Amino acid sequence: MAVDTVQPTVHVDLPKARNRRESQLGLMWRRFRQHKLALVSLWVVVFFYLVALLAEFIAPVDPVHYSARYTYAPPQGLHFVAQNADGGWEFGPYVNGYKTEIDPVALRRTFVIDEEVRIPVRFFAESEPYLLAGVIPLSVKLIGVENPRDPFYILGADRLGRDMLSRLIHGTRISLSIGLAGVTLSLFFGIVIGGFAGFYGGWFDSAVMRVVEFIRSMPTIPLWLGLAAAMPKDWSALQTYFAITLILSLIGWTELARVVRGRFLSLRTEDFVTAAQLDGASDWRIVTRHMVPSFTSHIIAAATLAIPGMILAETALSFLGLGLQAPIVSWGTLLQDAQNIRTLATAPWLLAPGVCVVIVILALNFFGDGLRDAADPHGR
């Protein structure tokens, strides 16, 4: 038989040596890397999630530790080089102390940074023993003052003299994890419900899509407010946390279900799915082996783009006092303190959580956009 064996030629748009055995996800990563903004955003996101994960280690003090002496103490900043009185240079991290001044007009006590006082700071400072992420016992912090009685407020203090930086770091954990948990929950509902609707179609599909449209047509803020207000006041912090997650994903699943259903519908008509059917593959095998791998990348992208919405929703609810409640530290509850203008005028550092929200949301959006573009080469 005369069949000439041909070597596969490599597609025009791919460099030859590298693409030999690349999978779809490998290809996606390559395309993603070309998207510079998305790549930077990825690192930003990774940074924030690391902070969230290692909150106890990174935060210098306990977020609920308060000190009435240092109400609204301004940020000390962190210094590394100092000039001695004799003109020599001294190296090593330190923060300045505070001195109190009386405002002669308002007769109000204000804190002023006292550059004379230097409080040495140490990395990997010893501390009270604690559990990192609730599991690993540690008694060392990333950063700390040598004498725990010295004031240490790199980002300033709040109304009760609590360290803003530590609270921000712990808030990051709650806010980011609620986004992640909400999306995971939404993803579960979305994939199961959207998958069934897309794969089997028919009346179930129509019913699901009507429900999705109904939910999406409801104004979300009042709905959340209603649901949040219905939560019993005596629930523990953990219970509220999960309740809020559930409330957020109640809306969140609809978008993901739509994406999943759409992918299923379009894949169902692809020839390779028909081919798998004709191979005699079961529905389960067709879905898990042929269809799902073809759109995992799209799902990842859609899920990433859904996280910012969750974070914003949580922040908004908590800001309005209807989400997480006071002992829990989240960006939203932190921003509650920044609600009135006068406080803001005297202690603008209370807005730090807002800055974090903006950075994280932007980074997640750019990252998600990058993923989406990478997942769909024809979309551009």
Partner 1 sequence: MTKPLLTINDMSITFTSPDEADIEAVRQVDLTLTPGKTLALVGESGCGKSVTARAVLRLLDKNAKIPTGEILFDTGSGAVDIAKLKSDSLAMRALRGAEISMIFQEPMSSLSPVHTIGDQVDEIIILHDRLNKKQARERTVSLLDQVGVPGARDRANAYPFELSGGLRQRAMIAMALACTPKLLIADEPTTALDVTTQAQILDLLRQLQDDFGMAMLFITHDLGVVAEIADDIAVMYLGDVVEQGDVFDVFRAPKHPYTQALMNSVPRLMRKAERQRLTPIKGTVPSPKDRPVGCAFTSRCPHAFAPCPTVRPERTQIGADHVARCHLLTHVREEAMA
Partner 2 sequence: MTTLLTVENLSKVFHLGGSLFREGRELVALNDINLTVEKGETLAIVGESGCGKTTLGRCIIKAQPVSSGHVFYHRDEGGHVDLTTLGKREIEPYRRDIRMIFQDPMSSLNPNMRVFDIVAEPLRVHRLLRGKELEARVYDTLGKVGISPDAAGRYPHAFSGGQRQRIGIARALVLNPKLVIADEAVSALDVSIQAQVLNLLDDLKEEFGLTYIFISHDLGVVNYIADRVVVMYLGHVVENAPTDLLFERPRHPYTEMLLEALPIADPSRRKGRNKELKGEIPYLGNRPKGCPFHTRCKYAQDICRAEKPALRPINGTAQLAACHFAETLDLKGAYEAPIKAIA
Tell whether residue 85 is a contact of partner 1 (CB under 8 A): no
Nearest to 351 by CA among 339, 361, 363: 339
Residues 6+ apart with CB under 8 A from 236: none
Q: Is 346 one of the binding residues for partner 2 (CB under 8 A)?
A: no
Least Cβ distance, residue 174 to partner 1 (angstroms): 42
Q: Which is nearer to partner 2, 24 or 100 (CB)?
A: 24
The DSSP call for residue 235 is -
Residue 27 contact, options partner 2, partner 1, none, Cβ 5-8 Å cut-off depending on partner type = partner 2
Total binding residues toward partner 1, as defined by CB under 8 A:
8
19, 71, 110, 325: residue in contact with partner 2 (rule CB under 8 A): 19
Which residues, numbered 317-336, are part of the site for partner 2 (CB under 8 A)?
Answer: none
Query: CB-wise, 31 or 122, nearer to partner 1?
Result: 31
Determine which residue in the list 1, 3, 9, 129 makes contact with partner 1, applying CB under 8 A. Answer: 9
Task: Quote the least distance from Cβ 209 to partner 1, whole Å.
Answer: 24
Question: Is 342 or 378 the residue whose CB approaches partner 2 more closely?
Answer: 378
- Residue 22 vs 90, nearer CB to partner 2: 22
For helices 237-268 and 292-319, angle between their N-to-C axes, nearest 10 degrees: 150
Contact 353, 334 (CB under 8 A): yes
Min. distance of Cβ 212 from partner 2 in angstroms?
A: 18
Footprint on residues 258-317 left by partner 2 (CB under 8 A):
270-272, 274-281, 285, 290, 293-294
Residue 65's nearest CA partner among 175, 176, 144 is: 144
Structure tokens at 273: 């799915």
Distances (CA, A) of 146 to 16, 94, 95, 126, 275: 58, 10, 11, 8, 70
Strand, helix or coil for residue 204: helix
Q: DSSP state, 154?
A: T
| Min CB(26)–partner 2 separation in Å | 9
Structure tokens at 95: 């923060």
For residues 142 to 171, the per-residue mask of contacts with partner 2, x marking binding by CB under 8 A and - elsewhere, is ------------------------------
Are 117 and 96 in contact, with CB atoms under 8 Å apart? yes
Per the CB < 8 A criterion, the answer to whether 356 and 172 are in contact is yes
Q: Are 261 and 198 in contact (CB under 8 A)?
A: yes
**Contact partner, 272, from partner 2, partner 1, none, Cβ < 5-8 Å per class:** partner 2
**Options 2-10, 190-198, 223-231, 302-310: segment touching partner 1 (CB under 8 A):** 2-10
Does residue 380 bind partner 1 (CB under 8 A)? no
DSSP run (H or E) holding 142: strand 136-145
Taking the complex as a whole, the smallest distance from the CB of residue 272 to partner 2 amounts, in Å, to: 4
15 makes contact, choosing from partner 2, partner 1, none, with CB < 5 to 8 Å by partner type, with partner 1
Could you say which of 1, 3, 4, 378 contacts partner 1 (CB under 8 A)?
4
At CA 240, angle to CA 234 and CA 242, rounded to 5?
Answer: 145
CB of 376 to partner 2, least distance (A): 12
Q: Which of residues 10-49 bind partner 1 (CB under 8 A)?
A: 10-12, 15, 34
Whether the CB-CB separation of 175 and 331 falls below 8 Å is answered with yes
DSSP helix/strand/coil, 301? helix
Beta bridge partners of 120: 94
Which one of partner 2, partner 1, none interacts with residue 5, CB within 5 to 8 A by kind? partner 2
Best CA proximity match to 83, nearest among 118, 56, 123, 111: 118
Q: Kindly tell me the sign of the dihedral angle through the C-alpha atoms of 8, 11, 14, 19.
A: negative
* Interacting residues toward partner 1 by CB under 8 A: 4, 6, 9-12, 15, 34
* Interacting residues toward partner 2 by CB under 8 A: 1-11, 14, 19-24, 27, 270-272, 274-281, 285, 290, 293-294
